[in-house]
Amino acid sequence: MADTLASASGPAITSDDVDHAADRYADAYIRDILRDTRVIAMVGASTNWNRPSYFAMKYLQQKGYRVIPVNPRAAGETLLGETVVGDLAGLEDPVDMVDIFRNSEAAGGIVDQALALDPRPKVIWMQLGVVNHEAAARAEAAGVRVVMNRCPKIEYARLSGELGWNGINSRVITAKKRAI
């Protein structure tokens, strides 16, 4: 994980380097988050194999992250080798990131639950389509990094070059495969 997403040398990336309003995040900001994260609580993780949260959880596990599923309707079940917890308060281990797979309105309460954890997560990550500026401001005021309207699975693949293996995000428009 750390090798693939090694950070460029330079100063630490802070929330001052983020433009939430324009959904712009420096690659170094995202890369640092993904490199420094080991344990993720995925709120809204689904036991349904064809849901995006299931794919994201499986992918992130394959990349070496521990992903703890959080879903009140599936609490106590096993999902991809992890026991599902009903809410963030049910976490037994500290997490580095809370990944929110819920709608923007629900994100505010989830962020408040995350900020009540001891220790607090280092990152609040809101999935594609999830934007809550007020919740983001509360998290950042508490010293927690925030990403909105992005997917860690997609960002990991993009920054590690995996998307380019399939011709996606390669900046090349052709049907021919590039010579290596």
What whole-number percentage of the chain has pLDDT above 90?
74
Mapping DSSP onto H, E and C, the string for the chain reads CCCCCCCCCCCCCCHHHEEHHHCEECHHHHHHHHHHCCEEEEECCCCCCCCHHHHHHHHHHHCCCEEEEECHHHCCCEECCEECECCHHHCCCCCCEEEECCCHHHHHHHHHHHHCCCCCCCEEEECCCCCCHHHHHHHHHCCCEEECCCCHHHHHHHHHCHHHHCCCCCCCCCCCCCCC
Summarize the confidence of residues 149-165 as an average pLDDT: 86
**Res 24: pLDDT:** 80
Q: Using pLDDT thresholds of 50, 70 and 90, give the confidence band for residue 2.
A: very low
Q: Using pLDDT thresholds of 50, 70 and 90, give the confidence band for residue 161.
A: confident
Lowest pLDDT segment from 14-18, 66-70, 118-122: 14-18
The whole-model pTM stands at 0.81
**Res 10: pLDDT:** 39
CATH class, 22-163 region:
alpha beta
Residues 6+ apart with CB under 8 A from 112: 135, 138
Nearest CA among 55, 111, 122, 56 for reference residue 88: 111
Residue 11 has pLDDT above 50, yes or no: no
Residue 21 has pLDDT above 60, yes or no: no
Residue 17 has pLDDT above 60, yes or no: no
Residue 172 has pLDDT above 90, yes or no: no
